Structures are given as structure tokens and as C-alpha cells.
Amino acid sequence: MTLAVPSLVSTPTHCPYCGLQCAMNIARDSSAADQAMTATVTGRSFPTNRGGLCQKGWTSAELLRNPNRLTAPLVRRDGELRPASWDTALDIVADGFAAAQAEGGRDAVAIFGGGGLTNEKAYQLGKFARVALGTSNIDYNGRFCMSSAAAAGGKAFGLDRGLPFPVSDLGAARAILILGGNVAETMPPFLGHLATAADAGGLVVADPRRTATVERALAGGGVHLQLSPGTDLPLALGLLHLAVLDGRIDHNFVGARTEGFDDAWLAAAQWWPERTERVTGVPVSALRRTVEILWRAQQSDAGAYILTARGAEQHATGTDTVSAVINLALALGLPGRRGSGYGAITGQGNGQGGREHGQKADQLPGYRKITDPAARVHVAQVWGIDPAELPGPGKSAYELLESIGTPGGPTALMVHGANLAVSAPRAGHVVDRLSALELLVVNDFLLSETAAMADVVLPVLQWAEEEGTMTSLEGRVLRRKAAVPAPEGPRSELEVLAGLARRLGQPAWRFGTDPEAVFEELRLASAGGVADYSGISYARLDEGAALHWPCPATPAGEPEHPGTPRLFLDRFETPSGRARFVAVEHRGPSEGMDAEFPLVATTGRVLAHYQSGAQTRRIDELVRAAGEMFVQVHPDTARRMGLVEGAPAAVVSRRGRTEAIVRCDDSMRLDTVFLPFHFAGSGRANLLTNPALDPTSRMPEFKVCAVKLEAVA
């Protein structure tokens, strides 16, 4: 008897989840009839994760063999989604788009993208919207992620890249302040880079909750700034006030490399320590110790960093908050120095690259402004069109969704890589808006809550079945490689877009389906832009080159550009070359607590789930680890509301009602409750959240809303 010997093939690639983009190997038996069933994941040595993965990464191969995988297009007939051929489905979509635009104009069709798409797909999606459809209505779920940090970074530095330095640089620092980030649960391998600071007592975490990241800080003697939700801005102003008051300003740096300090100081001067404590709830002693920790590390060249994340940014004042934090970092002399700095922690897998190449309503490839005449000329030339054919800037993500069903608003919408029914603010209202569409098209590989509402569902490839590139939170461009064969039926979004473009009358050459060919065009379109990828190629990436943008092409015969792992060492990307202080004032959350809604709710992630849970809720191990939807509350607050541990409760805001299981935690603030946003149905946290928008970034106020708790029988 002859036994079959497995033919193991191992492919290096990267995790499908967060912006850390941990390196992994996927092994499969190439002789198996269904190779996805044999796929296994192992960690791979890489600067960001150093061989480690979180629970989500270790279980990621389970997605490849999910029995509910979509393999054929679905078309709604007689109220039900039924299988259809690709030609039928694409004909319906193209005809629907053409009919919508014939009646309502170009902007009657809208595109909603995702921060998990490869650079190639994000680029092609922006091109498809503006060339094949001619619509200005394109935005993506990264608007709900990095937009405030991007806007503030642009104001201060003239350029936004999540981390303007490699993640590994954090490993040598002895002082790190994180505002609104729980990296121990959202990207666990990141925590290893904080060990030196944590062990030295130099890890400071500003968070309304005592999270796992806070616990790591306290274990080493660090600081927890347990602020009231929505007070990150006055916290930053108060820290700057103390830095000036206690003589902890780097005057040489401020004088030589910045501008605008005096105006920023006038705003911070109003935030004396006692006022800051009264508004934020953080003791003056903790504020003063934070400044001292950062200052001493900077002065001794031991390395000091300040990082922001969604907890500080997802507010209607998110841009001003990040500006205030950057002001503090500039006053201490941190940005633009090797071994110190400011950065924003990117959440989504390609949240960085996804916004650089055209998914955002106001941007063209290379991080170019769509309103810049020179940018329009450059990109139009690459695309083979007249610059006048390019539409202007469109609506931001929530405003786009809100406009559905209104006069002049979109009547057709195509969604890629987003689960709006769960992830959008004021989710119940967004579902109503989606229901008002004449045509909803969703591209996905599983039937998400949003896909279940669609008129047409187009099955697409998963992360390990496709070639492409991603850009990590540190601006490093990475190769994603096909590690398992795709099943029969699903297609790449590049094929979907090409098929639709042909049906809409576009020349075939404008919309290729080969990822490397699309990347080659992306290189040309980005050349000379802020995010210049023109010197990056698949060949260089496959050879193992560590290429951070900007990485411009060099003339023939000259050495290739090495990329730019550390920005701003010589100058900032402003006209003067100096970083800009931006004076900001505290306005507070858009809605306050009152007798009817006496508590403040804030949302976030838990270790076992990711984003809307559309993927992780399909993996049994992660479902068991995360448990049910819950509301975390102080025991005294629970008793006051007539609730007990483990009992069902309703959390009610002015916009909706969410049901959850009570989890009592005596480390919680008495005025605050926490809800994870991964769950669906009646457990959607975003049924409660406030869509009030930041005036600059158009970020919704996810992190603060007034609520009450009620017992559920």
C-alpha cells in the first residue's frame, strides 16, 4: 500500500487584519484536492511582529475554509438573493448605474471603499469612480479611522504618515505616552516594542478605562491618565501648560525648527493644572509626572514618543485634539529627531495606503489634492483623459450615506470591504438610508450584514488568494502574495471593476486586471506626489527591500532610492521647512449628559475581534474567546441602575438602543460605560453613536455619547 505524502508549500505573506501587518507564512498541501483545508499559519520574523502573532492572526486560515464562503454572484429576485452568472450580475450592475446616472446625473452613483483593500484595488477603485463613472461620490471607511490624525499631521508637518518612523524605533525609548490606544488588545505584537519604556516606568496611557495596555504600564511603575471621555484635548492643553510652567520646553528646537508657538501657548495658558484636573478628572500629580517622564527621557537621549489612536481622534473635535497633542510633542522637541517623535497608530490593514491612492473624496493618487490643478493634470495624463473630465471633491463618508434618498443624492451605491450596517455611526439610520437605494451592490467573500441587504452581491477573493501590496502603519510597502488557490467562482475586485468599466464604455486598456500592471500605473500616478511610490516595484519588494514612502524613482544609471523610513530629520514638508504649532480651543463633546441620559458611553475593540466582526465572528475560537456583546460598567453605577453582573441590559441613547450583558468592573469611572463595536443585530454599539462631524476631517464622534441603562427582562 502506498501512502500519499503531503507536498507542503510555504508562502511568505502578511496578516489580513490590522495596520501592523504582521508577517506570517502560510503552508498548504499542494497535492490536496482542497488546499485551503490544509492551510496553516506560522509567524515569520519581521521587524514589526518579530515572529509573533495575536489570536486573530493565528486563526486567520480558518477564514479560507469557511463553509459560508460566497462563490457565485447573488441577485435579489422576488425579495430573495439567488445565485446568478457573472455576466448576468455585472449586466444588472452596469445597467443600474447607467440608468441612475441618466436620471440623476453623474453623482447619482456612489462608491464606498475599505481600508483593507490592497493598494492596487484602492487605486483602481478611485480611478473607476472618477473615470468610468465620472462621479465625485467616493469615500471609504478610513474616514472613520485616520482622518483626524491625517488632517492634523498635514497642518503641522505638511505631510501625514501614520508613524513617520519604523515601529522598531519605539523599542529603545524609555518614555512613551499613548492617548486613546489599547494596543495590548488591538495589535498585541505592538506591545513588545513598548517593553523598554514600560519596564523603566516610562509608559503613560491616557484612557477612560483601565485596559490591558494600562495594566502593562502600571506593572512597570508607569502612569494611567484616567480621563473623562471627550477630554483628550484639554488634557493635551494642560500638559503643554505644565511643560511651560515647569521649564520643560526645548527652546532651541522650538526656535530653530518650528513656528507659531506663541499662539499655541496663548490657548494652553488658560489650562492651568487645577482647571485641567477639574475638566478631565486626571490629578495634577499625574499630569506633572507625565511631563517629567517625557522631558527626562528626551533630555537624556533615552528616547521619548507620543502616540495617538482612535480614542483621542474619533471625536467631532478630533483634528483639534491631535493638533494639541502635536503641539505638546513639538514643545518637548520630539518630532524630526532620531529616537523620538510623534505618530498616529493606524488601525486598518491598509488604512495608510488606502487613503493615499484615491479612495478618499478629496484625494488623487500619491496623496494629491483633487482641487490642485497640477495634480489633476498629472493624474489625468496617466489615465489618458482630459483633466476637465475629473470630478471635484465629493462628500465625506457619513455625509455620503446621509445623502442617500435626498433630492440629488445617490440612488445607486457599490460597497467594497466595508460593513456599514454595523460600523457606521447612527447605524439604524444608515440602514434606513441604504434601504432607500434603488441599487445596492456589495463586493464581499462572506454575507456580511450589509451584503445581506444588497440587490447584487459579487463574490471576491480573500487576502491569501490574491497578489498585491499593502502599506503598514509605518509607511512601509509590503508584498501580499497568493498563498492558496482561489476556489471556482470568486473574482478579484480588479476583474470586477474591469468588467463593469467595459460595460460602461471604457477602453479595455484603462482597467487592467493584473495586480503588478496596476501597481506599475500606480507608480506613475504617484510620482512626484507626497506619497511617491514611483521607486518601488514588485521586484524590489520580492527581494526583501524595506521600502517606506516616499520612495521616488531615480534616473537610469543612478542607485535606486532606499525609501524613507524616518521622515522630517532634516526638514518638515511645509513651505518654510518648519513644523507648525496650531492654536486650538476646547469645545467639548457635541452632546452632554443630563437627567435622562446621565452616563457617557465610549466604544472600542476587544482582543478576539476585529472591526465590525464580519470576519472574526465566523471563527469559533474567537467567538468563544470574546463571548457575548457586553456593557462594561462600575458596580456602583450598575446597582444605581438596578442592574447586576451577567444580567441583560439595554443601553439607550438619543439615537437608538443596544442590548448587552452587564460586566461590572470597579476600575471603571462612575460616569462611563464601555461597549465593543464588533457585534451585529440588536447588539450593535453603533446604534447609539453620534454622527456629529469634525469640521475639518469629517470624522464622526464615535467615542462619546450620552446614554442611560435599563434592565431587560
Tell me what pLDDT residue 713 has. Answer: 80
CA-to-CA dists, residue 646 to 548, 601, 629, 664, 680, angstroms:
48, 19, 11, 8, 19
CB 423 within 8 A of CB 611: yes
Cα 258 to chain center, whole Å?
A: 29
pTM score, whole prediction:
0.96
CATH number 2.40.160.50 is the correct assignment for the domain at 8-65: no
Q: Grid coordinates in use for 213?
A: 495596555
3 state SS for 146-190 = CHHHHHHHHHHHCCCCCCCCCHHHHHHCCEEEEECCCHHHHCHHH
Helix (H/G/I), strand (E/B), else coil: 523: helix
Q: Which residues have a Cβ under 8 Å from the Cβ of 351 and sit 6 or more positions away?
A: 19, 115, 142, 145, 146, 162, 473
- Crossing angle of helices 273-280 and 284-299, in 10° steps, is 120
pLDDT below 70 — which residues of the chain? 1-6
Beta-ladder partners of 458: 443
CA–CA separation, 9 vs 6, rounded Å?
9
Q: Grid coordinates in use for 254?
A: 522650538
* Same fold: 147-344 with 599-711: no
Angle in degrees, 0-180, between the axes of helices 493-503 and 86-104, rounded to the nearest 10: 60
Beta strand pairing call for 304-308 and 341-344 = parallel
CA 301 to chain centre: 32
- Which class is domain 74-144+350-513? alpha beta
Residue 354: its pLDDT value, please? Answer: 86
Q: d(Cα 651, Cα 712) in Å, to the nearest integer?
A: 10
Task: Give me the torsion for CA of 471, 474, 479, 484, rounded to 10°.
Answer: -90
Is the distance from CB of 694 to CB of 321 less than 8 angstroms?
no
70 sits in the region (left: phi over 0; alpha: psi -120 to 50; else beta) called beta
| Fold classification of 147-344 (topology level) | Dimethylsulfoxide Reductase; domain 2 (3.40.228)
Tell me the CATH class for 599-711. Answer: mainly beta
Note the pLDDT of residue 355.
Answer: 85
Q: Of all residues in the chain, what percent are helix, strand and coil, respectively (each to 5)?
A: 35, 20, 45
Q: How far apart are the first and last CA of the chain?
A: 63
**2-60 residue pLDDT tens:** 555 568 899 999 999 999 999 999 999 988 888 989 999 999 999 999 999 999 999 99
What is the Cα gyration radius of the chain? 25
C-alpha–C-alpha distance, residues 68 and 617, integer Å: 12
DSSP state of 130: I
Segments making up each domain of the chain, as ranges: 8-65, 74-144+350-513, 147-344, 599-711
- In this structure, are residues 436 and 449 in contact, taking their beta carbons and an 8 Å threshold? no
